Structure 1
């Protein structure tokens, strides 16, 4: 049971919320091939008629989204990760340590005495995902990058509590990446500027997981990051949103018809989770002019066992002008790697892909080992 809870900590609130609302309908709502042709008010009245009172007696009401909202009032901030935690090879071990040490730096990261070498002149900035932190995302990869001679830097972005709009996730220690992704992109930019100043480097490379992908893309496109980054390597990135096994698609369908079901659950799951639902305004703006920016080399890695960023192919990118894209399915040539959304960062193959993408000559070979679903790290705790 603990394994199941750990594996699905990122999924539970969104899925259970939308499922619970659907189960409150006397008349079922489904994402059929052809949606019912309602006006906004007709659909609102239809849903109101089927909503049962809540346990406390309150009668929920469907909300019509007029599109006039000026944006979320949620707030968030970022902090650097401090004090290196231990190197671990399994996600569960990292998750447990991250709960008790939520601001720990992954091993090998944020070392003040690290000077970029001629062989690896660009520092590597690590960008975690939703309801995660720098340590529990990169406790396996970060030390490998450091041992390979890279200066590694990590921070915790999108820190927000329930009252600030971050949802219920931050009730657990170390559940960051919950604030508006626009704010998180600015926080990433501020952190990268500090890294560049500290190291004297003109550019950095980015390794991102999950929400870290679109946050990095937002930084490149709208926060002046295009001239400050050389490579972006992402794993399980929600670059085009996620259907969350179809549940977000259903929620988006109803929301786009005018009933703000996703907005109804925003206070529960947090702004960033709602923004990552397929078809959100965030992605309409982010990818309006293409997936990439000129001059950047992208590597986008997805796993066919991803239960959060799915369909997993949505993590892949289409190259635009003067951009190079490598789209990689983790299982291509290595079917025994069973990594899911969280353990992809604890996969020996993923680590070898990251090292190869950063410097193909120094790391020409890709690892291939059994990596169990949920546990990670070749099964070693």
Structure 2
């Protein structure tokens, strides 16, 4: 099920917002649960909004035990899912008659978007990328990932077995994974794309939270934003997609200056 405001394949982009926006959800999630706050706001702003469910795998194909439940996506090999994202973007471009989209990616969704940009032809098809708590440089998973790496250094590689427990995509997001090493080998960005990376000091999934931030390379721009800077009472953690402040920051990242007063509302920390 698409979130409200998304997946109107007859939508015609406006002169004010000529690029459609593709929203990419994170691990173990789906598009409805991730984007039912942001998608209707962007639609109200005048964007054409699209939000695919991506990365479906079952437990036999290394989707992890979470894949046994309903509505669970983004567990498949991220490199393969990036190919699915490429096909989806091409369909959006054809339907809307545009040459570029903008993207917003939460958690794995931001990392997946970067994989698409670098390896699947996305660099020329994306103008702006906004990441929310993305595992751009991997995560220690509050120490669990560190334990896994320590055991690996002792000669016991648990990752193949953990693919069937956590899911292949989850293991690929632990720091120093082969996928992350290859993705970040030549820098964080590709030329021609404007990046915004939003992170929270209360993130307990992408840890340390600073690992979400990016460094601009040639031909790209990066704005790194700590959610609590200027608004300590928004204590949103990893699941930040419903924060009014995050929603306004995304709107400004997609259309700079469109929100004159970014909201600062109290949000309790989540786990």
Answer yes or no: same fold by TM over 0.5.
yes
Q: 1:209 aligns with which of 106, 117, 123?
A: 106
Shift of 1:349: 0.2
Question: Are the counterparts in 2 of residues 252 and 262 from structure 1 also a CA contact under 8 Å?
Answer: no
Task: Give the corresponding residue for 1:223.
Answer: 120
**Secondary structure at 2:51's aligned position in 1?**
strand
Tell me whether 1:154 sits opposite 2:51 in the alignment: yes
Which range is displaced more, 354-363 or 249-258?
Answer: 249-258
Question: Are the counterparts in 2 of residues 114 and 151 from structure 1 also a CA contact under 8 Å?
Answer: yes
Query: 5 Å matches for 1:1-381?
Result: 104-342=1-239, 344-374=240-270
Alignment RMSD, CA only?
Answer: 1.1
Counterpart Cα distance in 2 of 1:131 and 1:300: 21
Counterpart Cα distance in 2 of 1:143 and 1:235: 18
Counterpart Cα distance in 2 of 1:291 and 1:258: 30
Counterpart Cα distance in 2 of 1:201 and 1:275: 33
How many pairs were matched up? 271
Q: Which of the pair has more CA radius of gyration? A: 1
Question: Are the counterparts in 2 of residues 356 and 365 from structure 1 also a CA contact under 8 Å?
Answer: no
What TM-score results when the alignment is normalised by the length of structure 2? 0.98
Could you list the runs of 5+ residues in structure 2 that have no partner in the other structure?
none
Shift of 1:250: 1.8
Q: Deviations over 1:278-299 (max 9, x none)?
A: 1100111000000000110000
Could you list the runs of 5+ residues in structure 1 that have no partner in the other structure?
1-103, 376-381
Counterpart Cα distance in 2 of 1:262 and 1:196: 37
Shift of 1:157: 0.6
Shift of 1:165: 1.3
Question: Are the counterparts in 1 of residues 10 and 95 from structure 2 also a CA contact under 8 Å?
Answer: no
What TM-score results when the alignment is normalised by the length of structure 1? 0.70
- List, as ranges, runs of 4+ consecutive aligned residues in structure 1 with deviation greater than 3 Å: none
Q: Deviations over 1:195-215 (max 9, x none)?
A: 000000100000000001111
